[in-house]
Structures are given as structure tokens and as C-alpha cells.
Amino acid sequence: MKFKGRMWIFTDKNLNTDQIFPGKYTYDPLTPEQMAEHALEDYLPNFAKEVKKGDIIVAGQNFGSGSSREQAVKCLKFAGVSAVVGISFARIYYRNAINVAFPLVQCPEAVTYIFENQETLINEELTVDLSTGRVVIGDKSFSFPPLDGEALNIFTTGGLIEYTKKKISEK
Amino acid sequence: MGQTIFQKIISNVTGIDKPEEGSIVFVEPHMILTHDNSAAISKNFKAIGAEKVWNPDKIFIALDHAVPPPDEKKALNHKIIREFVNEQGIKHFYDCGLGICHQLLPQEGHVIPGVVIFGSDSHTTSHGALGAAGIPIGRTEAASIWAIGKTWLRIPESIKISLDGKLSKNVFAKDVILSIIGDMHSDGASYKSVEFHGEGAQAFSISERLTISNMVAEMDGKAGIFPADKVTDAYLRSRVNEPYKKIQPDTDATYIQEKDFNLNEIVPVVSKPHNVDNVSPISELPEIEIDVGLLGTCTNGRVDDLTAAAKVLKGKKIKYGVRLLVYPASQAVLLEGMSTGVIQTLVEAGGELAVPGCGPCLGAYGGCLAPGETAISSANRNFKGRMGCKDDTAIYLGSPATVAASVIEGKIVAPPKEVF
């Protein structure tokens, strides 16, 4: 799986689930498309309108900290974001992303390079190759450890719903 | 090599001898907790194609985030959950007004030491207070567990926190965990299990342990565990009939990090906007005027919390123009607070008594801030916009006694020592 897209660069540490998907919508029954309309609403109100299919978020330390709300993953996925490349991710956020098959790439070297060279790189497209474990920007290439074990199984099956379906049918 | 509590709990529930850190295991929970998100989870459950839940006796659902429902959408959300509960014969269902999930689960005897509790709520770490591994998960994962009764876990490395010494009279468990988070930061326990040891930890009541384990979520811990002891036994005596194992770590267990905190040195603190790890002693704050005080939530809505606030507010009134929201963590807490006169004191002081639940903490329902307002709250998160409005709002987190002292003054102040 390989993605190439425009970058949204968020340097903040601890960009949290409430900024990604506000609590006031969490107990309304919403479709994934409706969730996407609120993506990053309390952080960058225009994001949902301006994001384009295939865009990639470049994020700081502990992205997705806070709540277990899965909508904070789904809203980005259904807004068209193809992947988040971050310094690090909060635990439940990371797990939720695997479960809905949304690629999170922990690659602090690439993110630090992008943060430090934002002005010259802002119009560059970022390439993320999940199968080879590489992030490429301009003439620079960085490696990251690909998923393994059960996480990889769940991700490649298309998420936990498909994975559990398969488990049930194998019984 | 010795085993940590987490490793020994996994061994206890899976039968695997000495599970290694970093290895992947499949675990069946003692109980799986969900709340108002259960309607969305039931949708995922149906998408999986499952017909019956794996074990209706191990599923716990409490309606607590938007109670009683403020609008048609949230009422429908609850209705879908009730229908699912009836259709599946789910045994442990707590309807609106009975309390907050993390209060009811231990209060009603659904947690025992030595087991794994999964919960589709980040504050599931709370149940470490009883010597269990309370592990937060998301909605799709909860649906999958409802269907097949297990999920995978990576055995985490553990952090040992030793608490020694004794707290001053106006310093509380909330000040302890906020001070720890201030020191270790919001990702200080990412992917790790935290264990609490030392004479200070042993001296804490279950309620105080619940406050501390609850907020391990705020340093991204996978679990926050107090080894079960005689305090745990005393709490469980009237609540639980089944046998349990009081699992202790091996004395030669290895930890990725060890931290010592001296309780004598901890002072009244708050978390400043907009991150929980932005902690400061109250004595070092400039004057911060407040509009709202929130007393309650899964962190600090129990009898001892309301009682501490009532001691501060006894015979006093909250400042004109300031609001005090009082949300008991459960109906049992409300009833006990009524019989002891604590609720009377809080309401007489000017508190607005609400139905047991947790709505205002996350802006789900009730107690919403207006643009430009500031809150002092006994909750667990102060993220921007958390209490429903992001426009120039600010949330400070502190102990229930700090909330009470602050609503009298209309600004953030430390609780007085002389009332405790």
C-alpha cells in the first residue's frame, strides 16, 4: 500500500481527540460521512472543507491523546486523509486506527525533518509506502518499522470488523 | 526473572506461564464495560454479522454520558441500547440516573482483583484501583469482544511508582495524581502499565485509588494498578461473593522506570489549560477568576469527594454570579450524601444538584461553558473546548475541596486546612 499526497503539518504536542472530534457529537448516531464534517473542528475549523482526498497529516508527539472515541480516527479517514505520519501516537488512538484500517506511521525522523524545513517543503508531496516501510519527501527518505503480528493481520484484513467476521466463519 | 503485576494477571487469566513483555496474547475479560456508545457498538456488532453476544453475563452497560437525554437524537441512542440489552439478555444494564460506568462497575461488585476488564472508555484504567487490569479500548474492538469474547494484547512494560509519607490535611489523592502527571507528562506511560506501591499507596482508600487509577489515562497508561490488599478486601466484602486472587508482583520484577513521590511534599495543585500535564501549585498562580465549579465525574464524584467539598462549603455561600454544578457519581452516592446531610449542605451553599452522570466533563450534556468563561473542575481533562465551548474558554482541574474553596471566592484558591 502506497500513498502520495499534500501535507497538513500540525506541530502541536498532544493534539487531542476532543480537538479532532468534539465531545458534543460523540453520542449522536452519525454516519462516517457526517463524522467527517466535524474533523478537527475544534483545532482547525476549516479543515473539513479544505481537506482533499489523499491528503496526509504530519503530526507531533502523542497525536490523538485523550478519549477512546473512535470517531477521532474515522472522521479523518472519511474526510479523505490517507495517512497520519507522526512523532508518536496515543495508545488507544493507535489501536483504534488499526481496528478501522487507517494507516498511522510513527516516523519521528521524517516528521522532525518536515517540521524543521516546513517553509521549503510545504508544497511538496509526501509519499508513504506501507509495504516497504518508507516515508519519502523531496530527495529525503526515512524508514519506519511496519506493523507486525495481530495488528498487521487486522489491518490487512481491512479492519477488525472484517477480521472478526473471518474468525467467526472459520469456527 | 520476576514478573510484574500485569504479567501475573495475564498468567492468571490465560494460564500462560510467565508471559513475556512484548508478546501478544488473547484475553477474555472478566467484564466488558460500555456506556452511551453502546448503540454505535451494537451497529458494529451487527456489521460483523454476529447474532448473539458471547456471554451476556460479562457485558456491562451504563447510560451516563447524556442523562436524562436532552434531545431526540440522544433519546433514540438510549432506546437503541435498551432494545439491544433486551434482545441479547445482557445482565448488567444500568439505566439513566443510576450512575457513571466507572463508579457502578466497582460499586456493584463487577470488579475483582487479578482479572482483565476491557472498557470502551479511556478511563477504564480506574479499575486498577481494585487490583485488576482495567484496559481502555475503542468501539469496534468492543463490538468484536461482544461477538467473540476476546481480543489481543501486547504485554506492556511496567512503571513502578512508590508513594511514601503522608498527605497534609488540605491535599488529596487528586493533587497526588495531578502532581505525578505534571512530572511524567501526557505520554509518560504510553503503552505501559503503571503499578502503585509504598505505604502511601496502601493507606489510600478505594475511592482515592479510583481517583489515581482513573487519571493514569491522562499519561496514556494501558493500566494503573494498586496491588490488592486488606483495604481491597474490606471494600469487596459486601459486594462480591466469588473468590479472587490478590496478585502481587514478584519482588524481583523488572520495571522500565521507577519513580518515588513523597506525599509530605505534595501541595494543592491544578492543571492549567489546555493540557492535564500543565500542573502548577495553586500558591504560584496569578489571580484566576472563575465562572463555574464542577463537582463530580468518574474521577471525583464519590461520597468522600462530596463530603470534602461540603466541609469547605458548610455554612457558606458560593459567590454571586458563580455556578456550582454538583453531579454525584451514582444514585447510591446521592442517597448516602442525602442521609449524611452533605447534599443539603452543597445545595444550601448554592450548588445546582444534577442527575448522577458525567455529561458536563466532556460537553456531552449539561453545564456547558459560554464563550470567555473559566471553570474549576474535579474532572480529568481540560482540553480546549472539552466542556462544550472552545471560544476563549479555560478549564482548570483540581480536587473537590479546591473546587469548593474556589466557588466561594470566585477565584482559584487552595482549600483551607482547618475544616479537615
Is residue B104, in this structure, part of any structural domain at all? yes
Beta carbons of A92 and B122 less than 8 Å apart? yes
Report, as an integer, the average pLDDT of B114-138: 98
Answer left, alpha or beta for residue B235, where phi above 0 means left and psi between -120 and 50 means alpha.
alpha
* A-B contacts at Cβ under 8 angstroms: 137
Is residue B96, in this structure, part of any structural domain at all? yes
In this prediction, residue A127 carries a pLDDT of 98
B88 & B229 share domain: yes
* Minimal C-alpha gap between A11 and chain B (Å): 16
Who's near B141: CB < 8 A, 6+ residues apart?
A: A95, A96, A99, A160, B118, B120, B151
Domain boundary residue, one of B263, B292, B309: B263
Among B126, B143, B115, which residue's Cα sits nearest to residue B177? Answer: B126
In this prediction, residue A118 carries a pLDDT of 94
Is residue B389, in this structure, part of any structural domain at all? yes
Query: pLDDT averaged over chain B?
Result: 97
Kindly state the helix (H) or strand (E) to which residue A126 belongs, with its residue range: strand A126-129
B238 & B312 share domain: no
Closest-CA residue of A relative to B221 is: A91
In this prediction, residue A75 carries a pLDDT of 98
Beta carbons of A29 and B362 less than 8 Å apart? no
Segment B291-325, tens digit of pLDDT:
999 999 999 999 999 999 999 999 999 999 999 99
- Location of C-alpha cell 492543571: B271
Closest-CA residue of A relative to B54 is: A168
Beta carbons of A61 and B187 less than 8 Å apart? yes
What 8-state DSSP symbol labels residue B226? P
Residue type, A55: D
Cell numbers representing residue B232 in the block: 481491597
- CATH number of domain containing B56: 3.30.499.10
Closest-CA residue of A relative to B42 is: A29
B380 & B290 share domain: yes
Report, as an integer, the average pLDDT of B187-197: 97
Whether pLDDT at B354 is above 80: yes
Which neighbouring-strand residues pair with B211? none
Given a contact cutoff of 8 angstroms between Cβ atoms, the answer to whether A39 and A159 are in contact is no
Given a contact cutoff of 8 angstroms between Cβ atoms, the answer to whether A85 and A136 are in contact is no
* Angle CA B108–B119–B337, to nearest 5: 35
Please tell me the total count of domains within chain B. 2
Report, as an integer, the average pLDDT of B47-60: 97
Is residue B247, in this structure, part of any structural domain at all? no
B77 & B105 share domain: yes
CA B124 to chain centre: 7
CA-to-CA distance for B140 and A160, rounded, in angstroms? 7
In this prediction, residue B146 carries a pLDDT of 98
Given a contact cutoff of 8 angstroms between Cβ atoms, the answer to whether A43 and A76 are in contact is no
Segment A126-147, tens digit of pLDDT:
999 999 999 999 999 999 998 8
Q: Which residues of A132-148 are buried (b: 16+ CB within 10 A; e: fewer)?
A: eebbbbeeeebebeebe
Is residue B86, in this structure, part of any structural domain at all? yes
Interface of A with B in 67-96 (CB under 8 A): 67-70, 73, 88, 90-92, 95-96
3-state class (DSSP) for residue A140: strand
Q: Which of B3-7, B20-24, B271-275 has the lowest mean pLDDT?
A: B20-24
CA-to-CA distance for B13 and B102, rounded, in angstroms? 22
Given a contact cutoff of 8 angstroms between Cβ atoms, the answer to whether B346 and B295 are in contact is yes
Whether pLDDT at A28 is above 90: no
Q: Which residues of A touch B73 (CB under 8 A)?
A: 28-29
| pLDDT cut 70: percent of chain B above it | 100
Given a contact cutoff of 8 angstroms between Cβ atoms, the answer to whether B404 and B306 are in contact is no
In this prediction, residue B258 carries a pLDDT of 98
Given a contact cutoff of 8 angstroms between Cβ atoms, the answer to whether A78 and A100 are in contact is no
* Minimal C-alpha gap between A91 and chain B (Å): 6
B32 & B142 share domain: yes
CA-to-CA distance for B363 and B311, rounded, in angstroms? 28
Domain boundary residue, one of B263, B294, B323: B263
Cell numbers representing residue B369 in the block: 461553558
* Minimal C-alpha gap between B156 and chain A (Å): 11
Is residue B250, in this structure, part of any structural domain at all? no
Interface of A with B in 23-62 (CB under 8 A): 23-24, 26-29, 42, 61-62
Beta carbons of B144 and A70 less than 8 Å apart? no
Q: Which residues of B touch A31 (CB under 8 A)?
A: none
Which neighbouring-strand residues pair with A8? A57
Q: Which residues of B touch A167 (CB under 8 A)?
A: 148
B332 & B223 share domain: no
Omega of the bond leading into B65 within 30 degrees of 0 (cis): no
Who's near B162: CB < 8 A, 6+ residues apart?
A: B197, B198, B200, B201, B258, B259, B260, B261
The confidence band for A27, taking pLDDT boundaries of 50, 70 and 90, is: confident
B234 & B285 share domain: no
- Location of C-alpha cell 473542528: A41
Of the candidates B122, B147, B364, the beta carbon closest to that of A168 is on B147
B356 & B224 share domain: no
3-state class (DSSP) for residue B24: strand
The confidence band for B82, taking pLDDT boundaries of 50, 70 and 90, is: very high
Q: Which domain holds residue B320?
A: 270-419
CA-to-CA distance for A19 and A40, rounded, in angstroms? 6
CA-to-CA distance for B318 and B350, rounded, in angstroms? 6
Beta carbons of B222 and A149 less than 8 Å apart? no
Beta carbons of A164 and B24 less than 8 Å apart? no
The confidence band for A156, taking pLDDT boundaries of 50, 70 and 90, is: very high
Q: Which of A91, A98, A153, A170 to mutate to test the interface with B (most CBs of B within 10 A)?
A: A91
Q: Which residues of A touch B148 (CB under 8 A)?
A: 164, 167-168
Whether pLDDT at A171 is above 80: no
B225 & B306 share domain: no
Parallel, antiparallel or unpaired: strands B269-271 and A7-10: unpaired
Is residue B248, in this structure, part of any structural domain at all? no
3-state class (DSSP) for residue B208: helix
B287 & B259 share domain: no
Q: Which residues of B touch A99 (CB under 8 A)?
A: 138, 140-141, 144
Parallel, antiparallel or unpaired: strands B279-281 and B374-377: unpaired
Beta carbons of A65 and B136 less than 8 Å apart? no
Q: Which domains does chain A have, with CATH numbers?
A: 2-170 (3.20.19.10)
Report, as an integer, the average pLDDT of B211-231: 98
In this prediction, residue A149 carries a pLDDT of 87
Radius of gyration, alpha carbons of chain A = 16
Parallel, antiparallel or unpaired: strands B257-262 and B158-164: parallel
Beta carbons of B364 and A96 less than 8 Å apart? no
B169 & B280 share domain: no
- Location of C-alpha cell 448473539: B52
CA-to-CA distance for B356 and B336, rounded, in angstroms? 13
Which neighbouring-strand residues pair with B215? none
B306 & B193 share domain: no
Q: Which residues of A touch B141 (CB under 8 A)?
A: 95-96, 99, 160
Segment A80-137, tens digit of pLDDT:
999 999 999 999 999 999 999 999 999 999 999 999 999 999 899 999 999 999 999 9
Interface pTM, i.e. ipTM: 0.93
Residue type, B142: A
Is residue B346, in this structure, part of any structural domain at all? yes
In this prediction, residue B409 carries a pLDDT of 98
Cell numbers representing residue A16 in the block: 487531542
Percent helix, strand, coil in chain A (nearest 5)?
Answer: 40, 20, 40
Beta carbons of A91 and B364 less than 8 Å apart? no
